[in-house]
């Protein structure tokens, strides 16, 4: 979603002397806290990074031997052995044919989006949202894993990466990635599975534009600009290293709604191929997705704008990339010159393409200002369409300590009648 209004929030951050679960606790030049929570221990991953991990997970992660040139130690895979038995909440989400498997259960899943959750500074607000999601049965939660700036804001404002004077500085402080750490920690505690992405196509929270301001070029050359791509990859690595092995991550996502307007589809295809392969090299057993809107599709096409290739994406070609685990599609008929009723055409066409590709697909964002009357039929179509394995509506709303969470006209607030329609009733259809 491209956000039209950015209101709100920055209260004093809570700074703790203890490292959050899955947070950094050691490494070269690291000067932060080193004490993990009870039941968690600080485990060596590489010379630059030690991480608080469940004490029981010790033997399942990368071996703790220092990687000297003479070492013959074989690195083990990053998967947890606790997936054996299949029903543990400590297992890493995966796919199984055209469906997803979470906590050992292969089924249809519902979720939602709260892009703003990692930008909150009050832990209790994060926990409140997570507990409401858990009670509701919403399992998949997509949040922004980026927050790029070109000038450093005040200490009360959350930011993750400063792109300035040709340099990239990642903020691992209390108003930086430690906020994302808390989201992961809370998701782990509430058995919620996160989709975390690494850059925005749009200018909200920096985006590709923040890289362009720092490295030159423009929104279409960004995909091949070597300095920008090096910084982007470095950022990806910094985020992923914090949560390797966490059962709370559903998938790593390349971007929010990547487009390359007027470009040959090979530009984004090549970028998706190389970036997803890079992510797999960092954490082989984690699912990876693109975060695109699903535009550019021949199967089931009615020839209208979203099906065309003008935004530089080819849904079917990109989905065939071996290091992409599942497809994503978004649905905003009113932004694309379509009627709401057209949504079912869009969902069915993608379902067929996903079946053809042999991969599950996630209806990752969908929204209409008509809420229930337009979106409930989309949910029914998604549920009954082979190849659509889950849906996550845009966007979840709640009442936080600072007031109501952002409302862009698509927000479905917890406890509202639209929530009953689109969450409670929807989930009762398949559980």
Which residues does the annotation mark as catalytic?
A: 257, 365
218 binds ligand NAG (CB under 6 A): yes
Count the neighbouring beta carbons within 10 Å of the beta carbon of residue 99: 20
- Give residue for tokens 């914090």: 242
Peptide bond into 395 cis (omega under 30): yes
Q: Which residues pair with 19 in a beta bridge?
A: 36
Write the DSSP string, 271-316: HHHHHHHHHHHH-TTSEEE---------TT--S-GGGSSTTS--HH
Among 220, 256, 275, 276, binds ligand NAG (CB under 6 A): 220
Q: Measured from the CB of residue 308, what is the shortest distance to ligand NAG in angstroms? A: 18
Q: Measured from the CB of residue 207, what is the shortest distance to ligand NAG in angstroms? A: 14
Query: What's the length of the chain?
Result: 431
Q: Measured from the CB of residue 271, what is the shortest distance to ligand NAG in angstroms? A: 15
Piece of 75-83, 148-156, 166-174, 214-222 that binds ligand NAG (CB under 6 A): 214-222
Given the complex with ligand NAG, which of 29 and 68 has the nearer CB atom? 29
Tokens of 13: 């951050």
Write the DSSP string, 60-75: GSS--S---TT--PPP
Helices 123-136 & 177-190, crossing angle to 10 degrees? Answer: 30
Considering only residues 331 to 390 of the shown chain, the ones binding ligand NAG according to CB under 6 A are: none
Given the complex with ligand NAG, which of 216 and 358 has the nearer CB atom? 216
Helices 372-384 & 343-357, crossing angle to 10 degrees? Answer: 20
Given the complex with ligand NAG, which of 147 and 225 has the nearer CB atom? 225
Write each residue from 4 to 33 as x if it is in contact with ligand NAG (CB under 6 A), else as -, in one continuous string.
------------------------xx----
Tokens of 133: 């999601």
Tokens of 18: 């203890």
Write each residue from 168 to 207 as x if it is in contact with ligand NAG (CB under 6 A), else as -, in one continuous string.
----------------------------------------
Count the neighbouring beta carbons within 10 Å of the beta carbon of residue 165: 9
Q: Measured from the CB of residue 218, what is the shortest distance to ligand NAG in angstroms? A: 4
Q: Measured from the CB of residue 312, what is the shortest distance to ligand NAG in angstroms? A: 11
Helices (H) and strands (E) in the chain, counts: 10, 23
* Interatomic CA distance for residues 4 and 278, integer angstroms: 32
* Cα–Cα distance list, 282 to 290, 359, 382 (Å): 16, 22, 32
Residue in 200, 149, 208 with CA at minimum distance from that of residue 176: 149
Q: Measured from the CB of residue 50, what is the shortest distance to ligand NAG in angstroms? A: 13
Tokens of 257: 């709604």
Piece of 112-120, 212-220, 380-388, 418-426 that binds ligand NAG (CB under 6 A): 212-220
Q: Measured from the CB of residue 181, what is the shortest distance to ligand NAG in angstroms? A: 20
Q: Measured from the CB of residue 236, what is the shortest distance to ligand NAG in angstroms? A: 17
Among 120, 219, 329, 349, binds ligand NAG (CB under 6 A): 219
Residue in 91, 94, 137 with CA at minimum distance from that of residue 247: 91
Given the complex with ligand NAG, which of 218 and 373 has the nearer CB atom? 218
Q: What is the CA radius of gyration of the chain?
A: 21
187 three-class SS: helix
Given the complex with ligand NAG, which of 217 and 300 has the nearer CB atom? 217
* Interatomic CA distance for residues 185 and 197, integer angstroms: 17
Tokens of 79: 């998967």
Given the complex with ligand NAG, which of 47 and 409 has the nearer CB atom? 47
Task: Identify whether the C-beta of residue 223 lies closer than 8 Å to the C-beta of residue 311.
Answer: no
Number of residues that bind ligand NAG (CB under 6 A): 7
Piece of 175-183, 217-225, 306-314, 365-373 that binds ligand NAG (CB under 6 A): 217-225
* Interatomic CA distance for residues 333 and 349, integer angstroms: 15
Given the complex with ligand NAG, which of 25 and 141 has the nearer CB atom? 25
214 binds ligand NAG (CB under 6 A): no
Given the complex with ligand NAG, which of 73 and 218 has the nearer CB atom? 218
234 binds ligand NAG (CB under 6 A): no
Considering only residues 27 to 66 of the shown chain, the ones binding ligand NAG according to CB under 6 A are: 28-29, 48
> Which positions touch ligand NAG (CB under 6 A)?
28-29, 48, 218-221
């Amino acid at each position: 979603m491209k956000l039209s209004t950015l209101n709100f929030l920055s209260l004093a951050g809570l700074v703790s002397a203890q490292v959050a679960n899955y947070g950094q606790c050691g490494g070269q030049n690291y000067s932060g806290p080193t004490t993990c929570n009870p039941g968690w221990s600080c485990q060596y991953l590489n010379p630059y990074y030690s991480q608080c991990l469940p004490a029981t997970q010790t033997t399942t992660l990368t071996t703790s031997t220092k990687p000297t040139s003479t070492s013959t130690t074989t690195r083990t895979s990053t998967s947890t052995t606790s997936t054996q038995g299949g029903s543990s909440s400590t297992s890493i989400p995966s796919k199984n044919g055209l469906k997803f498997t979470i906590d050992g259960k292969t089924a249809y899943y519902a979720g939602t989006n709260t892009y703003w959750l990692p930008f909150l500074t009050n832990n209790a607000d994060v926990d409140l949202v997570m507990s409401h999601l858990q009670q509701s049965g919403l399992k998949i939660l997509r949040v922004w894993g980026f927050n790029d700036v070109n000038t450093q804001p005040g200490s009360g404002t959350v930011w993750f990466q400063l792109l300035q004077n040709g340099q990239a500085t990642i903020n691992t402080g209390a108003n930086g990635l430690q906020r994302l750490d808390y989201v992961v920690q809370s998701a782990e505690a509430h058995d919620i599975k996160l989709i975390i992405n690494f850059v925005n196509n749009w200018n909200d929270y920096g985006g590709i534009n923040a890289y362009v301001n720092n490295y030159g070029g423009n929104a279409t050359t960004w995909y091949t600009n070597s300095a920008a791509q090096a910084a982007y990859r470095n950022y990806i690595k910094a985020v992923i290293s914090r949560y390797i092995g966490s059962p709370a991550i559903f998938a790593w996502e390349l971007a929010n709604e990547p487009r390359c307007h007027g470009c040959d589809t090979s530009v984004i295809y090549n970028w998706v191929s190389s970036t997803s392969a890079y992510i797999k090299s960092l954490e082989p057993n984690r699912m990876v997705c693109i975060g695109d809107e699903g535009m550019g599709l021949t199967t089931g096409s009615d020839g209208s704008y979203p099906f065309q290739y003008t935004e530089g994406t080819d849904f079917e070609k990109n989905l065939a990339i071996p290091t992409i685990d599942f497809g994503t599609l978004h649905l905003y008929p009113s932004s694309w010159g379509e009627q709401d009723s057209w949504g079912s055409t869009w969902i069915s066409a993608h379902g067929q393409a996903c079946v053809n590709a042999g991969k599950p697909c996630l209806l990752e964002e969908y929204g209409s200002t008509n809420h229930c009357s337009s979106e409930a039929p989309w949910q029914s179509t998604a549920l009954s369409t082979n190849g659509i394995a889950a849906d996550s509506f845009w966007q979840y709303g709640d009442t936080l300590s600072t007031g109501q969470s952002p409302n862009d006209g698509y927000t479905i607030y917890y406890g509202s009648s639209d929530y009953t329609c689109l969450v409670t009733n929807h989930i009762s259809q398949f559980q």
